[in-house]
Amino acid sequence: MSDTLDLAKDLISRRSVTPEDAACQALMCERLAAIGFRIEDLKFGDVHNFWARRGTEKPLFAFAGHTDVVPTGPEANWQSPPFTPSIKDGKLYGRGAADMKGSLAAMVTACERFVAHHPDHKGSIAFLITSDEEGPAHDGTVKVVEHLEARGEKMDMCLVGEPTSNSQVGDVIKNGRRGSLGCVLTVHGQQGHVAYPHLADNPVHRFAPAMAELTSEVWDNGNEFFPKTTFQISNIHAGTGATNVIPGDLEVTFNFRFSTEVTEQQLRKRTEAILNKHNLNYSINWALSGQPFLTAKGQLVEAMTAAIKSVCGYETELSTSGGTSDGRFIAPTGAQVVELGPLNATIHKVNECVGVEELDQLSEIYEQILINLLND
């Protein structure tokens, strides 16, 4: 047993299904306050957040993460109850083990050791923790960042504890993320009887040529940091349920994951140009959930890659793949933002787990990052 494993188990045992926190943050705050962090409880709506800071000077390095987890699905499908942490074959099982209560535990224990050995470290250490990352993300990190910006408090560097590793801890870190632009498109037609199509206007038939063009369009070719922009339809619905009725409307939900080679405005304009080209009668509702961001090689990236090399003995890979994270709310403030966490193979799955040794290794990496950046 280790301090990091003990804390991870305690956090996993708390049923913090988004947006619930289940007193996970109180547990973290108690540990952080004991080593000199000043704690601010920042609740927005029904969402619990906290900002904790030790020190007043620059540079300000922050750990960011979330205590909320996704639903478990049928608990009977789990080999052990998802909120009763269990260890089997060197792995810790439980909802949130990898995403991201293991990371939270590693952050706290890394800080405890670092402060014990470097009580007069330079700069400041902070924690920005929310319980609204797996949900709508309206009252979590984005609101805390707005609160900090309003009083002129800016992070210089931020490490987000998302599970980034592929086959061994630290083999991949995310130094950027693609943007995410979602859309709900409604194509309007005329409902009628299938036997009398000349008296109706089938929106499914109308949309089909436009759909073929949208799905075959090359939006960009990416660049050295980002893969090419992708377009994916996730939901499509029409009809009344009857087999003899031509639907009046067709609803299509789709999403762009986009690189820095194209803007949100360009994607909207090009999409609507294709829809107009096919003479569709439609209404459209766009939703931007995050702009792409990139942290180039610099102080934070170098400190993290050096820490991984020191602790693990191998080089890491920089990547911008995967979904969005709360880093999208922090990067626009000008902070360097990089993500590093445990293996992501089981996140959001039944029997989510993390290697017990991974937890201690991750905590050592986090501590070494603090040494590299803030050692007095």
**132 assigned to active site:** no
Q: 265-270 — which CB contacts under 8 Å span 24+ positions?
A: 267/181, 267/219, 267/229, 268/181, 270/217, 270/219
**46 assigned to active site:** no
Q: Tally the residues of the chain.
A: 376
Q: Does the bond joining 163 to the residue before it have cis omega, within 30 degrees of 0?
A: no
Q: Does the bond joining 59 to the residue before it have cis omega, within 30 degrees of 0?
A: yes
In 3D space, the residue among 224, 9, 30 whose CA is nearest the CA of residue 96 turns out to be 9
CA–CA separation, 131 vs 249, rounded Å? 37
Among residues 20, 21, 99, 133, the one annotated as catalytic is 133
Among residues 20, 21, 68, 134, the one annotated as catalytic is 68
The set of catalytic residues is 68, 133
